Amino acid sequence: MSSEKNNSTDQTRTEKNETFGFRFGHYFDIFYRVMKGFFGIIALLVIIVGALGGGTVLGYFASLVEDIPMPTQAEMRSQVNSYDIKSSMYYGDNSLISDLRSDLLRSPVSLDQMSPFVVNGVIATEDENFYEHNGIVPKALIRAGLQEVTNASTVTGGSTLTQQLIKQQILSAEVTHSRKAVEILYATHLENKFDKDSILEAYMNISPFGRNNRGQNIAGIEEAAQGIFGVSAADLTLPQASFLAGLPKSPISYSPYTQYGEVKEDLSAGLARQREVLYSMYREGYLTEEVYNETLNYDVTADFLRREDEDADRPTQSYVYDLIEEEAKEIFVEMLIEEDGITREQLDNNDELYTQYKEKAVTEMRNGGYDIYSTIDPVIHNAVQDTIRQNIDRLGSSRSLQRKDKNGEFVRDDDGEIIVDEVQVQVGGAITENATGKVLAFIGGRSYEYLEFNNAFKSRRGTGSAIKPIMVYGPALASNLITPASIIPDTAVRIITDDGTPYTPGNYGRTTGDWRDARHWLAVSQNIPNVKIFDAMQKQGINYEQYIRAMGIGPEAITDEQLRFQSTSLGQSGTGPTPVEVAGAYSMIGNRGVFNDQYVIERIVNNAGEVVYQHELNPTRVWGEDANFLLYDMMRDVTRIGTARAVPGLLNFNVDLASKTGTTNDFADVWYVGTTPKIALSSWMGYDDQRAVLRNEFGYSPSQRNLRLWAQIMNAIHRVKPEVLGIG
């Protein structure tokens, strides 16, 4: 009881102090007006006395500002209007993906897009003489000084809106005589250079307004209106506007939301501030007594938006979001170094410099008000993700693996037991548009919740036989080493490598001893004929490397040294291309031998509506159209008589398909890649830890399960957007 009594006493005392402070400001205002009207003689005497000390005050003021440079009008305009504006990312159809994560959300609007209620509320509460003064109000400065001297619990402040704008945008918030003197000087300078509406508009767009219903920090009246009441600034009602008008004084204290976006249990501070705003509007003549009383009785808390997760409808936690942000960041880095005269070579050779520009790029991208347009087709992408979710549990069982550290040592718990991890089957893939290189959709993994690592763009794994068309048969056809009808024996071979060791490749099945044409061997994916063609290219000095590099598979996927290994021609390289890179290479085959870089950022538009980045196509002919025609026709046989002959029966439509399967040793990786004349689709399956390998399960081999997944993805695309496949 004693504690409750003390709390009640403290609360009563606080309320009395707040009431005293509020009344003090009100009575001082009345006192000032009375003094001005009826005590002219006293005022004259004050002026005379003040003049005696005025020289001292002016001298002190001059000493504080004498070394301060006066900004030009252009400099001041740039500083005052330097908003941190939220940036957004969009799908290929211009629909919103998400706003970019930012420490502060802001959406500037013009003054005529703000409700007069909220504008009048801010003026009445923060600066009732805004349209009369020249940047400063001596009365307000005196009042603030007296409040400070008397320790009034409510301090109304001595700063005009102009001064507050200067403080937020140009100066620091420190409280010193010198800073205050510069603030006064700059405020009068700003008033001389800019009209009142421009100053007011900037203030309304810059001021902080606390948090929104997602717990995000917000600034500017538009974000406040949208984030607290779910309406635009132009549509604010009087109760809503009066609440928002009071927030800039102490945005976090008065905000109705916690850092988690939940409505606070105690809203008394914000509601008391709203009442102050309403009284100020009534006192200044913006409201009639009837409207004032009516609004006081309105429950504005009923208008507050309820809590909403930050990624509820505009996901910032997804493969798409991460990918577009990362790709855009690199574009901003390139734009910034070009602006500063820094070369890419300088950046790549200086990690510290690169880090600095990455940080600058992130800040500029997130807060510069940019619209980033991607190539991702939401209809196709969502159909692909739905297909993955529906099939993921049938792709393979989890595996138990003993955890090892980077040195290969087992990791143990506190009891000395080896830690065992459960690993799940992962997937990756991409759909690329042949004629442009656009990535229309991709498979980042089994789920973002399971692992945020994007397999489509980052996972490098051996391709197995999926490498054969692009590294062996294509270059051999292009260099006239073979034709589809060239006869190659499937007989044992022993090749002496550069280091003198013998290489004796084998087939996945038995060596047949047959003498068949190249068309047949590609369709059934026989290894020995493939290696013989590759060995012949090396012996004849055919530059097969130029082809693989021209189709976008660089040294980070397969090094120059690896390109010389016979085993690489079977897809057993140490690293390997990503699913996106593989899809891009097959897109080249579908595009008559012309390669386009895969990309996901179409254009970037700044806050002024100017296109600051536009992807430009740079098509590269990898090999002649005749050679490509032959290769495409050979790859049709993969689904006619070869390793993917089950696919046509799994598709719900007919399409001109050239494709290839691929597996690495012990089914650590399983691939299927196909191209039509319009798009290419790659599909990869495997475990993140390659100690775990795929097995026969659910009545199907790993390769068969991947073929079925690939076919279901294609069926989903055909169902939602058949024109992408060239089927009208």
Provide the CA 557 distance to its chain's centre, in angstroms.
Answer: 26
Can you read off the two tokens belonging to residue 673? 């890649």
φ/ψ (deg, to 5) at 511: -80, 125
Which residues is 372 bridged to in the sheet?
Answer: 89, 604
**Other residues' Cβ atoms within 10 Å of the Cβ of residue 133:** 20
Please name which of 385, 365, 312, 333 lies closest in space to residue 89, comparing C-alpha atoms. Answer: 365
Q: How many residues does the chain have?
A: 728
Phi-psi region of 606 (alpha: psi -120 to 50; beta: other; left: phi over 0): beta
Dist CA 84 CA 102 (whole Å) = 9
Contact 447, 395 (CB under 8 A): no
φ/ψ (deg, to 5) at 435: -75, -15
Contact 605, 332 (CB under 8 A): no
Give the torsion sign (CA, 370, 375, 381, 384): negative
Please name which of 430, 330, 417, 387 lies closest in space to residue 671, comparing C-alpha atoms. Answer: 430
353: which residues sit within 8 A by CB, 6+ positions away?
A: 342, 346, 347
Coil, strand or helix at 568:
helix
Can you read off the two tokens belonging to residue 649? 């029966």
Dist CA 254 CA 68 (whole Å) = 36
Dist CA 585 CA 675 (whole Å) = 10
**Other residues' Cβ atoms within 10 Å of the Cβ of residue 134:** 11
DSSP-assigned letter for residue 598:
-
What's at 90, amino acid-wise? Y
Give tens-digit pLDDT for 290-312.
Answer: 999 999 999 999 999 999 865 44
DSSP-assigned letter for residue 229:
I
**Which pLDDT belongs to residue 510?**
84
681: which residues sit within 8 A by CB, 6+ positions away?
A: 429, 430, 431, 583, 673, 674, 675, 710, 713, 714
Q: Cβ-count burial of 87 within 10 angstroms (0-12 exposed, 13-18 middle, 19+ buried)?
A: buried
Coil, strand or helix at 347:
helix
Which residues is 421 bridged to in the sheet?
Answer: 401
Coil, strand or helix at 340:
helix
148: which residues sit within 8 A by CB, 6+ positions away?
A: 155
DSSP-assigned letter for residue 100:
P
Can you read off the two tokens belonging to residue 711? 């076919």
Dist CA 719 CA 713 (whole Å) = 10
Please name which of 523, 464, 526, 463 lies closest in space to residue 493, comparing C-alpha atoms. Answer: 526
**Which pLDDT belongs to residue 555?**
95
**Which pLDDT belongs to residue 12?**
44
Dist CA 303 CA 309 (whole Å) = 18
Which residues is 721 bridged to in the sheet?
Answer: none
Cα separation values, 272 from 267, 278, 283, 485, 505, Å: 9, 10, 17, 88, 83
Dist CA 231 CA 243 (whole Å) = 14
Please name which of 366, 388, 399 lies closest in space to residue 448, comparing C-alpha atoms. Answer: 388
Dist CA 720 CA 431 (whole Å) = 15
Give tens-digit pLDDT for 499-556.
Answer: 889 999 999 888 889 999 999 999 999 999 999 999 999 999 999 999 999 999 999 9
Contact 499, 460 (CB under 8 A): no
Tell me the chain's radius of gyration from C-alpha atoms.
35
Can you read off the two tokens belonging to residue 610? 């100017």
CA atoms within 13 Å, Cβ hemisphere of 397: 10
Which stretches of the chain drop beneath a pLDDT of 50? 1-24, 26-27, 30-67, 153-155, 172-175, 311-314
Q: How many helices (H) and strands (E) does the chain have?
A: 27, 21
Measured torsion, CA atoms of residues 620, 622, 626, 632, in degrees rounded to the nearest 10:
-110
Contact 459, 319 (CB under 8 A): no
